[in-house]
């Protein structure tokens, strides 16, 4: 059923059920609908802005709290499923929320849509989109790489396109651009609550939305009209004073914050920026800062609504949304005196350019000191490749500022001393910088314009300039720089910085260069110093949309066929995981005890493995390939405790599964940091894993494990990690009494027959315990639909 008001579809979100579909609207009267009839997006003409409902919910919550509220609280709590009775204790309560939309990139959308298909639901319940950005490998240049990707991935693209048509999901074709830039240009708005199946979804906070990275199973919940659950975050306030100038850019704000908070300092918290310094940052610059907030483990990041956001909305053909936001600023800005759990203060007038790395995004150096650090630690000084763009730094302003540096250099007869790659964030950005001559300036510098896609940022880079294993340095404007992240070479030292500093260091050819102080030598032998970079925030001629690459879903897609061949090596329909048998997990074998950093990249590698993201069994062959084992301090070489033979981690896991041996993993601190990829939870479950026991978890990965029926547990005493060896057997006692807040007893049996008991904590609530008992959240969804 579709409710119509005055001949138009209501504030429409579809409510799905197993038996059919009906409309879920924002519960507004005909008068209200007429007064607020502004579409959420130019591409969602029948779904209207939710401010009326959000304001009503905010009023309820504000009376309950009786105190000033942070912006994060306002946006989050105004999306509560039940604002009148929800518990609202930061850091403790679980919130049930109603997000406004869902976004999925093609690598994660495959599994998300496969899970949605297996749910039996006929159509998604909220506006949702799929973005083809992860499967395009950087090899030659944009057009050729795109054509190659379309041919190589046609089976996957066809699956995603037809799934979109059948289930009501918008489909952005390959070449459209990177998911986060597309969201900013078309869908984000101040006050939005959105979930996305990519860890850098928080990019939308640059336009005043709470945009949160999740796994595919969470996306399925929201698309199925199940309230989305989130542990109530704490709020870290970052007060900005002063103003940006010179070589300092928005990227330097988050690079400094990363150095202060570290890769896990934002875990369980929203980072909220406020203060007079916000006014000196462009809307896309705010997006850059929020995007890289994923690297400090933050739930998401957000900026308050201001004139810079208004201008960006107008420039991207959303003037009506800008005007409506102007009328709702009380919802879109924090209250005076709002309580933060921690405040970090940064004076932008004193902030210096930063460059972080290598191998971790929180190793922060000011640009004048990184050269000395490189010499001290024997990091290669020579910059082999400079890479600008990506979802983090590919705005018109970013590209223009780089072009201003290039023009200066070329006026002195200089070009890049290293390979230089440019990744436009979207087709709109690509078309606009081509029209305005910026792309040609960067090409004349020696640059290669890659496809509008993630490319080298996520490991989709067919790199040829250095041999595998060769020690070298690259400098990027990306967000993440884990070992082997970009080119699968563990000896590539990747440093993350602003696109301006990337350009300057590519020009100098060395890390040991500070453009604020150091001189260059022109082709005429004369010394010169670069002037400060400068560019317009928005294009004077407006944005050129470029090629139309969007496929809108039909109102009725029931006649569309979505085919998955049983012989396919790229796609595989899902088989439900087994249900918990009601017994304790006794004498589990330890598949691997990981040492040190173990990100989702270590658990489920990307790069060439992206082609198997829709085929769970095939991609499970990448399980823990680059994690270091405590057994021998080697990668992908563990002992089968039954046969005593050494082999790869996935082969060993498969042998255990075939023999009916339950296994677990022991891990270190901040286990599962990085990408939101749920394959890092699906693969252990698929190959027979039951529990992951670590010192601490990254938020998204812990939730993903719960969704798949795994037991994510943490040592009550972190020192107990050292008491376990890879030869031990692990028993989890009292699982029938598993309850919120109740620790689990772990019996560790040694090879000499002795044992010791240690205490493990967990963060399960009652709903999540039901997921575990059912075998997965998807299994539980089916049980509920069947009335169980």
Give the pLDDT confidence of 78-130 residue by residue, as tens digits.
999 999 999 999 999 999 999 999 999 999 999 999 999 988 899 999 999 99
Beta-strand ranges (E) seen in 157-316 are 170-172, 193-196, 210-213, 228-231, 234-241, 269-274, 300-302
**Element housing 63 (H / E):** helix 51-65
- 3-class secondary-structure state, position 635: strand
Asked whether the beta carbons of 117 and 257 are under 8 A apart, the reply is no
Sign of CA dihedral 322, 324, 327, 332: negative
Q: Does residue 32 surpass a pLDDT of 60?
A: no
Question: Which residues have a Cβ under 8 Å from the Cβ of 746 and sit 6 or more positions away?
Answer: 693, 713, 730, 731, 732, 733, 757, 758, 759, 760
Mean pLDDT of 217-243: 95
Looking at residue 426, what is its pLDDT? Answer: 97
Q: In this predicted structure, what is the pLDDT of residue 627?
A: 96
Question: Which strand (E) or helix (H) includes residue 304?
Answer: none
pLDDT band of residue 15 (cuts 50, 70, 90) is very low
Strands of 210-213's sheet in order across? 210-213, 193-196, 101-105, 128-131, 170-172, 550-551
Please give the average per-residue pLDDT across 333-362, as a whole number: 97
The answer to whether 584 and 578 have CB atoms below 8 angstroms apart is no
pLDDT at site 1 = 24
Helix runs in 133-281, H state only: 142-152, 154-167, 179-186, 216-223, 250-261
Angle 667-630-637 from CA coordinates, rounded to 5°: 105
User: Among candidates 216, 260, 193, 218, which has minimal Cα distance to 114?
Assistant: 216
Residue labelled with tokens 């007038």? 349
CB-count exposure of residue 644 (10 Å: 0-12, 13-18, 19+): exposed
For residue 409, what is the enclosing H or E element? helix 396-411
Report the pLDDT averaged over residues 42-51. 94
Q: How high is the pLDDT of residue 700? A: 87
- Compute the distance between CA of residue 323 and CA of residue 484 in angstroms, rounded to an integer: 46
Domain boundaries, the chain: 71-349, 352-514, 585-786
Please check whether residue 573 is in contact with residue 117, taking contact to mean a CB–CB distance below 8 angstroms. Answer: yes
Average pLDDT on 525-532 reads 97
For residues 24 and 14, the answer to whether their CB atoms sit within 8 Å is: yes
pLDDT at 31: 33
What totals of helices (H) and strands (E) does the chain contain, helices first? 25, 36
Catalytic residue annotation:
133-134, 198, 480, 675, 677
pLDDT-derived band at 23 (thresholds 50, 70, 90) equals very low
What is the structure's pLDDT at 782? 87
Place 35 in a pLDDT band, splitting at 50, 70 and 90. Answer: very low
CA geometry: angle 158, 184, 12, nearest 5 deg? 70
For residue 652, CA distances in Å to 615, 643, 665 come to 20, 10, 13
Report phi then psi at 652, rounded to 5: -65, -40
Exposed/middle/buried for residue 330 (C-beta within 10 Å: 0-12, 13-18, 19+) = exposed
From the list 726, 745, 732, the residue with the least C-alpha distance to 772 is 732
Place of tokens 């639909």: 785
Q: Work out the pLDDT band at 33, boundaries 50, 70, 90.
A: very low
Query: What are the structure tokens assigned to 355, written together?
Result: 């460059």
- Report residue 280 CA to chain centroid gap: 26
Say what angle helices 307-315 and 283-291 make with each other, to 10 degrees.
Answer: 100
Question: What single string gives the DSSP state of each residue in 410-463?
Answer: HHTT---SSEEEEE-SBHHHHHHHHHTTHHHHHHHTTEEE--SS-GGGGT-B--
Distance CA 55, CA 58 (A): 5
Q: Residue 369 has which token pair?
A: 């000191």
pLDDT tens, position by position, 457-467:
999 999 999 99
User: Token pair of 109, please?
Assistant: 């959308």
Query: Given this chain, do its domains 71-349 and 585-786 carry the same CATH topology?
Result: no
Contacts of 357 (CB under 8 A, 6+ apart): 363, 481, 493, 494, 495, 496
Query: Average pLDDT for residues 301-310, to the nearest whole number?
Result: 98
Over range 158-176, report the average pLDDT.
Answer: 97
pLDDT of residue 36: 53
Counting residues of the chain whose pLDDT is more than 90, the rounded percentage is 90
Give the Cβ contact number of residue 415 at 10 Å.
Answer: 15
Query: How far is the CA of 525 from the CAs of 412, 413, 504, 508, 661, in angstroms?
Result: 9, 10, 19, 15, 71
Q: How far is CA 600 from the centre of its chain?
A: 12
Give the mean model confidence (pLDDT) for residues 627-654: 96
12 confidence band (pLDDT: 50, 70, 90): very low
Pair 13, 125: CB distance under 8 Å: yes
Cis omega (within 30 of 0) for bond into 106? no
Q: Residues 585-786: name the CATH superfamily.
A: Aconitase, domain 4 (3.20.19.10)
When comparing pLDDT for 7 and 643, which is higher? 643
Q: Given pLDDT bands bounded at 50, 70 and 90, which one contains residue 16?
A: very low
Residue 613 reports pLDDT greater than 50: yes
What are phi and psi for residue 438, nearest 5 degrees? -70, -40
Pairing of strands 383-389, 472-476: parallel
- Are 566 and 575 in contact, with CB atoms under 8 Å apart? no
> Would you say 158 and 256 are in contact if contact means Cβ atoms under 8 Å apart?
no
**Confidence at residue 715, expressed as pLDDT on a 0 to 100 scale:** 98
What is the token pair recorded at 224? Answer: 């199925």
Q: Burial code of 206-224, b = ≥16 C-beta within 10 A, e = fewer?
A: bbbbbbbbbbbbbbbbbbb
Asked if 451 contacts 138 with a C-beta cutoff of 8 angstroms, the reply is yes
| pLDDT (0 to 100) of residue 20 | 34
Mean predicted lDDT score pLDDT of the chain: 93
Q: Is 87 exposed, middle or buried (0-12, 13-18, 19+ CB in 10 A)?
A: exposed
Percentage of residues in the chain having pLDDT higher than 70: 95
Gap between the Cα atoms of 278 and 711, Å rounded: 42
Query: What integer pLDDT is reported at residue 305 of this predicted model?
Result: 98
Between the alpha carbon of residue 564 and those of residues 163, 167, 570, 572, 759, the distances in Å are: 11, 15, 9, 7, 45
Neighbours of 536 (CB within 10 A): 12
| Cα–Cα distance, 736 to 584 (Å, whole number) | 7
Q: Mean of the pLDDT values across residues 12-38?
A: 41
Which one, of 710, 693, 692, 681, lies nearest residue 771 by Cα? 710
- How far, in Å, CA of 128 to CA of 108, rounded? 14
Confidence of residue 17 (pLDDT cuts 50, 70, 90): very low
Q: Is 29's pLDDT higher than 60?
A: no
Check residue 4 and give its pLDDT.
24
Region 670-693: mean pLDDT is 93
User: For residue 677, is pLDDT > 90?
Assistant: no
Cα radius of gyration rounded to whole Å, the chain: 25
Find the helix packing angle between 766-774 and 699-707, rounded to 10°.
50
Q: Does domain 71-349 have CATH number 3.40.50.10320?
A: no
Which of 212, 282, 225 has the alpha carbon at shortest distance from 249? 282
Q: Which two tokens stand for residue 471?
A: 């020690």
- Topology of domain 352-514, CATH: Aconitase; domain 3 (3.30.499)
DSSP 12: E
Least confident among 93-107, 305-319, 397-411, 601-615: 601-615
Determine the pLDDT at residue 712: 98
- Angle at CA 240, nearest 5°, toward 343 and 532? 145
Let me know: does 679 contact 197? Beta carbons within 8 Å: no
37 burial type by CB count under 10 A (0-12 exposed, 13-18 middle, 19+ buried): middle
């Amino acid at each position: 059923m579709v409710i119509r008001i005055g001949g138009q579809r209501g504030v429409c979100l579809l409510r799905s059920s197993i038996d059919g579909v009906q409309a879920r609207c924002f519960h507004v009267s005909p008068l209200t609908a007429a007064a607020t009839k502004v579409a959420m997006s130019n591409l969602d003409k029948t779904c209207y802005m939710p401010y009326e409902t959000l304001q009503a919910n905010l009023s309820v919550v504000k009376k309950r709290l009786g105190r000033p509220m942070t912006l994060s609280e306002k946006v989050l709590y105004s999306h509560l499923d039940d604002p009148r009775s929800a518990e609202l204790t930061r850091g403790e309560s679980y919130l049930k929320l109603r997000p406004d939309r869902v976004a999925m990139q093609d690598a994660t959308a495959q599994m998300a849509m496969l899970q949605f298909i297996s749910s039996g639901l006929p159509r998604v319940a909220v506006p949702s989109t799929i973005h083809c950005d992860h499967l395009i490998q950087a090899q030659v240049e944009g057009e050729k790489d795109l054509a190659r990707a379309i041919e190589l991935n046609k089976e996957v693209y066809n699956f995603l396109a037809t799934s979109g048509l059948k289930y009501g999901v918008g489909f952005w074709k390959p070449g459209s651009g990177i998911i986060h830039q597309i969201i900013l240009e078309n869908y984000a708005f101040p006050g939005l609550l959105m979930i996305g199946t990519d860890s850098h979804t928080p990019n939308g906070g640059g336009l005043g939305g709470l945009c949160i990275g999740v796994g595919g199973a969470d996306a399925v919940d929201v698309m199925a009209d199940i309230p989305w659950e989130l542990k109530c975050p704490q709020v870290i306030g970052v007060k900005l004073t002063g103003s940006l100038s010179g070589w300092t850019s928005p990227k330097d704000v988050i690079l400094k914050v990363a150095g202060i908070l570290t890769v896990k300092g934002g875990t369980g918290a929203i980072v909220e920026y406020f203060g007079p310094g916000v006014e000196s940052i462009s809307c896309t610059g705010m997006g850059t800062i929020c995007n890289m907030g994923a690297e400090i483990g933050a739930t998401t990041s957000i900026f308050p609504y201001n004139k810079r956001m208004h201008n960006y909305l107008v420039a991207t053909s959303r003037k009506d949304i800008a005007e409506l936001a102007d009328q709702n600023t009380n919802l879109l800005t924090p209250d005076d005196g709002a309580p933060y759990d921690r405040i970090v203060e940064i004076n932008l007038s004193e902030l210096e350019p930063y460059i972080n790395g290598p191998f971790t995004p929180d190793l922060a150096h000011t640009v004048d000191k990184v050269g000395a650090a490189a010499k001290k630690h024997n990091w290669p000084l020579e910059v082999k490749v400079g890479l600008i763009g990506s979802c983090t730094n590919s705005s018109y302003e970013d590209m223009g500022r780089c072009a201003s540096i290039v023009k200066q250099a070329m006026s002195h007869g200089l070009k890049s001393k290293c390979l230089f790659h440019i990744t436009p964030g979207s087709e709109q950005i690509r078309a606009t910088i081509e029209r305005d001559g910026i792309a040609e300036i960067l090409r004349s510098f020696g640059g290669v314009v890659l496809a509008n896609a993630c490319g080298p940022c996520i490991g989709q880079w067919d790199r040829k300039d250095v041999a595998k294993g060769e020690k070298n340095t690259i400098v990027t404007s990306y967000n993440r720089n884990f070992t082997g992240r970009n080119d699968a070479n563990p000896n590539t030292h990747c440093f993350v910085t602003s696109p301006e500093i990337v350009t300057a260091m590519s020009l100098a050819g060395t890390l040991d260069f500070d453009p604020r102080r150091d001189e260059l030598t022109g082709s005429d032998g004369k010394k010169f110093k670069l002037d400060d970079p400068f560019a317009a925030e928005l294009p004077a001629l407006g944005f050129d949309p470029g090629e139309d690459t969007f496929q809108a879903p039909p109102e009725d897609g029931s006649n569309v066929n979505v085919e998955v061949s049983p012989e396919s090596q790229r796609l595989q329909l899902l088989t439900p995981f087994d249900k918990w048998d009601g017994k304790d997990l006794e004498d589990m074998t330890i598949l691997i005890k990981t040492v040190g950093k173990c990100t989702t990249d270590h658990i489920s590698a990307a790069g060439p493995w992206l082609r198997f993201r829709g085929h769970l069994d095939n991609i499970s062959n990448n399980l823990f390939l680059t994690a270091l084992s405590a057994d021998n301090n080697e990668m992908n070489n563990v002992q089968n405790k039954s046969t005593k033979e050494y082999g790869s981690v996935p082969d060993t896991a498969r042998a255990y599964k075939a023999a009916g041996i339950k296994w677990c993993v022991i891990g270190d601190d901040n286990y599962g940091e990085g990408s939101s990829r749920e394959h890092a939870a699906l693969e252990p479950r698929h190959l027979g894993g039951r529990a992951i026991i670590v010192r601490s978890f990254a938020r998204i990965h812990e939730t993903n494990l719960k969704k798949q029926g795994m037991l994510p547990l943490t040592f009550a005493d972190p020192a107990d990690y050292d008491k376990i060896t890879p030869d031990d057997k692990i028993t989890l006692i009292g699982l029938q009494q598993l309850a919120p807040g109740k620790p689990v007893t772990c019996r560790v049996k040694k090879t000499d027959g002795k044992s010791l008991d240690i205490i493990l904590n967990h963060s399960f609530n009652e709903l999540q315990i039901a997921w575990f008992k059912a075998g997965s959240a998807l299994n539980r969804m089916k049980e509920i639909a069947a009335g169980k």
